[in-house]
Chains A and B, each alone.
Chain A
């Protein structure tokens, strides 16, 4: 079965650079979520999209932006990178509302800022 695809799997950037993370949800899923997981921490909700419109926003820095495109893939853009942005970034998708079924996560992108 198709899963949530994230690219790249690993990314190394220098401080103040820009990074773009991509997410391809499961076909026919209408909601995409982005989460950030720092070392030893729980996944923190960043932002979500429902039918290509932003539906909810969490603790996402102003330096970050995201969008969902007509083919439902989503991109998380991160500018002016800081050392503290080093983390695992997960994308997940679901049929709205996720409810009892939760959602399906991708394998994540590990971002390292040096």
Chain B
């Protein structure tokens, strides 16, 4: 049972344009949603997060939007840069759990073309 889903395995955008990565979830108990970025041969790196009490969080070029009624979140990267090319994982956790373990989506490979 995949609780966090990223239905687009890959995305290709032109440098300077907007990249939109999508994520859906099924567990209404999730309190926190996070995006991680992963380069080959490296561990995932925390990018940005959002609490379930908010609908938007912005950090520089990165903005995460949360639509709780649709159980959907998205990551917007504007403007996209070639260095953004990586695998992006959406993750979620239940804040009240004893560990806050993260449940990951399958990942979306973003390619930003110069």
Q: Which residues of A contact B (CB under 8 A)?
A: 4, 6, 31, 33, 41-45, 48, 50, 55-56, 58, 90, 92, 94, 96-108, 110
B43–A97 contact, CB under 8 A? no
Closest A residue to B91 using CB positions:
A102
Q: Which of A4, A44, A55, A100 is within 8 Å of B51, CB to CB? A: A100
B98–A56 contact, CB under 8 A? yes
Chain A binder among B11-19, B65-73, B77-85, B103-111:
B103-111
B46–A45 contact, CB under 8 A? no
Q: Which residues of B contact A (CB under 8 A)?
A: 4, 31-32, 34, 36, 41-46, 49-51, 89, 91, 93, 95, 97-107
Q: Which residues of A contact B51 (CB under 8 A)?
A: 100
The tally of CB-CB contacts under 8 A between chains A and B is 82
- Whole-angstrom CA separation of A39 from B66 in the bound complex: 29
A107–B44 contact, CB under 8 A? no
Closest B residue to A49 using CB positions:
B99
Closest B residue to A4 using CB positions:
B43
- Whole-angstrom CA separation of A94 from B44 in the bound complex: 14
Supply 11 A–B pairs (Cβ within 8 Å), ascending by A. Answer: A4-B43, A33-B99, A43-B104, A50-B98, A98-B100, A99-B100, A102-B36, A102-B91, A106-B43, A107-B41, A108-B42
- Whole-angstrom CA separation of A4 from B107 in the bound complex: 22
A102–B49 contact, CB under 8 A? yes
